[in-house]
Amino acid sequence: MKQTHYRNCNLCEAICGLEIQTENDSIKSIKADDKNPLSRGHICPKAFALKDLHEDPDRLQHPVRKTDNGWQKISWKEALDEVASKLCSIQEMYGQNAVGIYLGNPNVHNLGSMSIMPVLIKSIKTKNKFSATSVDQLPHQFAAHFMFGHHFMIPIPDIDRTNYMLILGANPLVSNGSLMTVPDVRNRLNKIMNNGGKVVVIDPRKTETAKIASEHCFIQPGTDVYLLLSILYQIINVHGVSPGRLEEFTIGLDELDSIVKPYSPESTAHITGINAENVKKIAADLCNAEAAVCYGRIGVCTQEFGGLSHWLINVINIVTGNFDREGGAMFTTPAVDILQPPSSKGHFDLWRSRVKNLPEFGSEFPAVTIADEITTEGDGQIRAMMTIAGNPVLSVPNGGKLDSALKSLDFMVSIDFYINETTKHADIILPPLHNLYSSHYDLIFHVLAVRNTAQYAKPIFKKPDDTKFDWEIYLDLAKRISKKRKRPLNKMMYYMSRLFGTEWIIKAGLKRGSSSLSFKALLKNPHGVDLGPLRPSLPERLFTSDKKIHLLPDILVKDLTRVHETMSERTISKLTLIGRRQLRSNNSWMHNCASLMSGRDRFNVLMNKEDAEKRQIQDGQHVRVSSPDFHIDLPVKISDEMMPGVISIPHGWGHNSDGIQLSTASKYPGGNLNNLANGEKIDMLTGTADVHIRNIEITLL
């Protein structure tokens, strides 16, 4: 039977509306949904790959166990019993922290994981929990936690109504927005400029976004904190602090002066590579534009001062009067508001990791320390791992160390539908059905979107016999583990989900949310419901106990000492390596989707002409890129996109055909950029990995 379905794409943060035509169990076409109120007909090539994913022979559909003769199919009962029994006996023998958990990024794109996985996590009750957060957005959450009282209260640029947008370390034309869900971003940025406004990009690479922007400035990688302090210096000393109505409920405005004193634009120019005049112009534009917003993303996160930089971005938006107002940085008022109780407001440093004494954030330790916790003997050593929808061997610095560490475990289970560089170490793999089999409501990215919208979709395909949804796997395991370990099971979540799937969670969420949207209205509007532009919501929406914005949290102000102490000794590295994201790639997965992998090999190192000439390297020649820890061999693409002294390699590659099933990726494997970093360098404040690799060597092959 032919049918047409509408739903959000769940592959990236943009949550584009899709129109999917099916006939029985197959996908006939995937198009953009022109009537989706957020994406307005936008789509990217990854959406078409949902068909590849659906048809992918590599995708597991039943549990498998690793044996001497390869992977063997086993029954769900046998697999779940064995996993529960192994995890429980390891915890009984070595303590509850002997089981570690890693959660990959795709979990936040699936309703089942977002809503029901916590039942499983609570049943395991380990402190050794890790996720992709600490190689990604942790600094945003850290700043939000200390300034606004909730680790998920992340300000979103009101891109549709701003006149000036300053973008640092982000490439929304390729990411389609991140912590700023913004499908159709090209048109939205063009609209700012066509209306007489400006878009300014600061990045060590002239990215796809920088190429269409009004202006672009190169910056030395990892020096954003100095630039932001200088912008703030200029605002305070020349333009004045004017937070508007926020003044009434913002603490710390009077003390800003002393904080920025050492960072005049002249004093930081040699560090950032951005001259003082440019910094002054940026500060003036931020203050004088009718509405302006400063936004930073991954390049500002995964560095030595990620936490400080995101705090300063918020401070700049606040003191220029561009916070919680149209065209500035605003908060969403989502139909299902995951910030409200029972969700946690977050916490920091309630306990520390065993080996490196790193603080937890939101119950997680930095992912760079998973291998240490597995290989360092002693009480609390991780003896078993559970990974859920993640491939940390490719996505965490020093994946090689983690790769060897995983081999030493007593037991490993992966909840994943692929055998990849990480899950190949599992003893048992439990594969959930992919997203198109499930009902879908994006719990996270409606909260991070540039417009308030809501969309619910029923499953597209009927659940095949002998398969499980992700949330069924979580409940099945949680029940077994809770029983064996005599731990309380969240009975309400368990029985309601068993009876009503994930739908009841959306209904309950809508009832608690601030809009009057009903579940019936969602069902009646398959293209999604438009709830309007972002609205001022402070101070009511603040989660701080005094309902005030804390502009200068002690922990952040104290961390400025690190910036100051290293300021005089900062030297420019001979060659610094940065990563980059590609439109036809989805971090470390989907590299076996034929529609995405067609065309030229795009795994190359971008290098400025000047740097290439110094080393007598011609375009297309193969080179070895080496850090003290690892090397990758790949072709050079000479490009003036790159700042002199900076090179770039795409992340997410490095597929190793040894023991895994990735039919397409095995012929297009690339190398693992993250192996060039040793994992020792982190933002000491937040625990986020610093992935900028300095003093890289290049040799011609």
Provide the binding-site residues for ligand SF4, judged by CB under 6 A. 9, 11-12, 14-16, 43-44, 46-47, 176, 183
**Nearer CB in complex with ligand SF4: 9/159:** 9
CA 659/CA 662 separation, integer angstroms? 10
Shortest distance in whole angstroms from residue 688 CB to ligand SF4: 23
Shortest distance in whole angstroms from residue 445 CB to ligand SF4: 9
**Nearer CB in complex with ligand SF4: 188/424:** 188
Structure tokens at 449: 């979107």
CA 279/CA 269 separation, integer angstroms? 9
**Nearer CB in complex with ligand SF4: 49/529:** 49
HSE-CB of 341 using CA atoms within 13 angstroms: 1
**Nearer CB in complex with ligand SF4: 11/210:** 11
**Nearer CB in complex with ligand SF4: 12/632:** 12
**Nearer CB in complex with ligand SF4: 45/628:** 45
Q: What is the dihedral of CA 637, 642, 645, 651, to 10 degrees?
A: -70
Element holding 5 (H helix, E strand): strand 2-8
Shortest distance in whole angstroms from residue 18 CB to ligand SF4: 7
What is the β-pairing status of strands 215-217 and 348-352? unpaired
Shortest distance in whole angstroms from residue 345 CB to ligand SF4: 28
Shortest distance in whole angstroms from residue 441 CB to ligand SF4: 15
Shortest distance in whole angstroms from residue 11 CB to ligand SF4: 4
Under a CB-based contact definition with an 8 Å cutoff, are residues 424 and 666 in contact? no
Shortest distance in whole angstroms from residue 421 CB to ligand SF4: 22
CA 139/CA 298 separation, integer angstroms? 9
**Nearer CB in complex with ligand SF4: 47/90:** 47
Instruction: Label residue 15 left, alpha or beta by phi (over 0 means left) and psi (-120 to 50 means alpha).
Output: left
Shortest distance in whole angstroms from residue 109 CB to ligand SF4: 9
**Nearer CB in complex with ligand SF4: 38/117:** 38
Q: Which of 469, 423, 440 is nearest to 61 (CA)?
A: 469
Q: Which of 4, 13, 6 is nearest to 33 (CA)?
A: 6
In terms of Cβ atoms closer than 10 Å to its own Cβ (0-12, 13-18, 19+), residue 202 is: buried
**Nearer CB in complex with ligand SF4: 43/606:** 43
Shortest distance in whole angstroms from residue 178 CB to ligand SF4: 10
Shortest distance in whole angstroms from residue 136 CB to ligand SF4: 16
Q: Which of 433, 494, 487, 498 is nearest to 460 (CA)?
A: 433
CA 442/CA 464 separation, integer angstroms? 24
CA 319/CA 321 separation, integer angstroms? 5
**Nearer CB in complex with ligand SF4: 181/369:** 181
Shortest distance in whole angstroms from residue 583 CB to ligand SF4: 8
CA 585/CA 208 separation, integer angstroms? 15
Under a CB-based contact definition with an 8 Å cutoff, are residues 286 and 166 in contact? yes
Shortest distance in whole angstroms from residue 16 CB to ligand SF4: 3
Letter string b/e over residues 109-127, b meaning 16 or more CB atoms within 10 A of that residue's CB? bbbbbbbbbbbbbbbbebb
Q: What is the dihedral of CA 232, 235, 236, 238, to 10 degrees?
A: 140
**Nearer CB in complex with ligand SF4: 30/623:** 30
Shortest distance in whole angstroms from residue 47 CB to ligand SF4: 4
CA 432/CA 127 separation, integer angstroms? 25
Structure tokens at 23: 């006939």
* Phi, psi at 488, each rounded to 5°: -65, 140
**Nearer CB in complex with ligand SF4: 183/654:** 183
**Nearer CB in complex with ligand SF4: 45/464:** 45
Shortest distance in whole angstroms from residue 468 CB to ligand SF4: 25
In terms of Cβ atoms closer than 10 Å to its own Cβ (0-12, 13-18, 19+), residue 666 is: middle
CA 317/CA 248 separation, integer angstroms? 16
**Nearer CB in complex with ligand SF4: 43/632:** 43
Residue 196 per-residue DSSP state: T
Q: How far does CA 399 lie from the centroid of its chain?
A: 18
CA 49/CA 70 separation, integer angstroms? 28
Shortest distance in whole angstroms from residue 72 CB to ligand SF4: 34
For residue 133, give every residue at least 6 positions away whose Cβ sits within 8 Å of its Cβ, in sequence order, or none.
Answer: 141, 361, 362, 364, 367
**Nearer CB in complex with ligand SF4: 106/139:** 106
Shortest distance in whole angstroms from residue 59 CB to ligand SF4: 18
**Nearer CB in complex with ligand SF4: 16/522:** 16
Farthest CA pair distance, the chain: 72
**Nearer CB in complex with ligand SF4: 15/677:** 15
Under a CB-based contact definition with an 8 Å cutoff, are residues 20 and 5 in contact? yes
Shortest distance in whole angstroms from residue 472 CB to ligand SF4: 25
CA 516/CA 526 separation, integer angstroms? 17
Q: Which of 457, 434, 439 is nearest to 502 (CA)?
A: 439
Letter string b/e over residues 474-485, b meaning 16 or more CB atoms within 10 A of that residue's CB? bbbbbbbbbebb
CA 485/CA 62 separation, integer angstroms? 27
